[in-house]
Amino acid sequence: MTNSLGLNSLYTLGFAIYSIKNETNISKLYGKMAIDEAYDRVKKYMTTKKSGFTFDSIPFLHSNKTDSISEKYNVVIILEESLGAEFVGSLGGLPLTPEFDKLTKEGLLYTNLYCTGTRSVRGIEAVISGFLPSSSESVVKLSKAQDHFFTLASAFQEEGYDTSFIYGGMANFDNMASFFSGNGFRTIIDETDFDKDNQHYALKGTWGYSDEDLVTKANHYFKSLNDKPFFSLLFSTSNHEPFEYPDGRIIPYEKNKNTVNNAIKYADFSIGKFFKLAKKEDYFKNTIFVIIADHNTRTYGKYLVPVKKFRIPALIIGPNVPKGMTFNLQSSQIDIPPTILSYSGIKAETPMIGRSIFEINAETKGRSIMQFHDNFAFRVEDNVVVLQPKSKPRQFKVINDSILKPTKIDIELSKDALAHLVVAENLYKTRTYRSKKKLR
């Protein structure tokens, strides 16, 4: 609430008060488990050895494995609104992303990646913090996560990086500004800053300025830093109802202009524009770029958790990143931030539970974690356990990523699923998802 007062928004302050009511009690809804058992069950899915955990009072704190031959690089994360794999040509989807598809030749493409939820704040939580999904609201909205909660921005800020969040809409939406300003983001640029600029932008729509305006402003900001290292999160808006975008940019996929497919084509056009701008600048050769979706735009289906609708793209491009390679192991959105940190050359201790691409081996099993309304899916390869409130766990075999065939419950797997919910609740409530830096 203190952070919210500083933002001078009655809405944000009220939202912070309301968010206190959005915390749930896992044991009442899904079952009880001793916290030490939960820790052990979650840690066995990590790639950190038992001796690698460094600080007992922060149970998951460990050193990330870094690309040791590299220097320290800038990092730009482009979080794409509602870009499901079904819309991405290079992932077997509709032919809506020619710019993204061309860029896959320049970097490392995740082909089997699943988001953790169905809302933008859930995607932010996973991509920026590497935090597990839970039955509560995203930590972006919860009171105990508004300061000293681990984020990539906080790790880079400690290394002397400029840290920024750049968004064409209003940053206080979904409590983002409060969460970011309290957790490592030094600069927040949003719609109000675009409004002050003495220049012509392509379009200001319902959700704010268009994606090409976002990338143009971001490029200008990065140039202004004069070689200071930087970490930045860009969050797009154009692929969101009512799907507004400027005329004359794309060949429409459909006759009716304001459709999701046309909006995705425009969002892709803007990705291409950003890279055309960035490649002309000095910072480009020293920067890791990550393009990843927050979630899919259409998450629905007849199953308890529509697994197929959780598949999203992620592409990493940079001077030390393999070109034209694919990473095919089933992965979760929470695996992206530790991988980003590894590629960046930053050595840090983090509480992130996800698995860096630098730490997996031939024995590592594919794993993803998905929250859909009050249902929680824990998937290991093609076996998925679904936890529902006040119900017994159910298990399914995933067929071709789209059919869930009921199978006999694996008790140990169901306990592992519960452990991830228990751990998420405990880390939040005890405020132990952080670095060693003391809480104020």
Domain ranges (residues) in the chain: 74-350
The partner residues of 387 in beta bridges, in order of sequence, read 376
Q: In whole angstroms, what is the distance from residue 234 CA to residue 192 CA? A: 16
The single residue listed with the structure tokens 């975008």 is 245
Q: Helix (H, G, I), strand (E, B), or coil: what is residue 42? A: helix
Contact 387, 26 (CB under 8 A): no
Taking only the tens place, the pLDDT of each residue in 27-43 is 889 999 999 999 999 99
Mean pLDDT per block of 10 residues along the chain (440 residues) reads: 45 48 74 96 92 89 79 96 98 98 98 97 98 93 96 96 98 96 98 94 96 98 96 97 96 96 98 98 97 91 91 97 97 98 93 94 95 95 96 96 95 98 96 76
Q: Specify the pLDDT at position 23.
A: 60
Q: In whole angstroms, what is the distance from residue 133 CA to residue 353 CA? A: 12
pTM of the model: 0.93
Handedness of CA 415, 418, 424, 428 (dihedral sign): negative
Q: Specify the pLDDT at position 19.
A: 43
Superfamily (CATH H level) for 74-350: Alkaline Phosphatase, subunit A (3.40.720.10)
Q: Specify the pLDDT at position 10.
A: 54
Cis ω before 242 (30° cut-off from 0)? yes
Residue 303: left if φ>0, alpha if ψ -120 to 50, beta else—which one?
Answer: beta
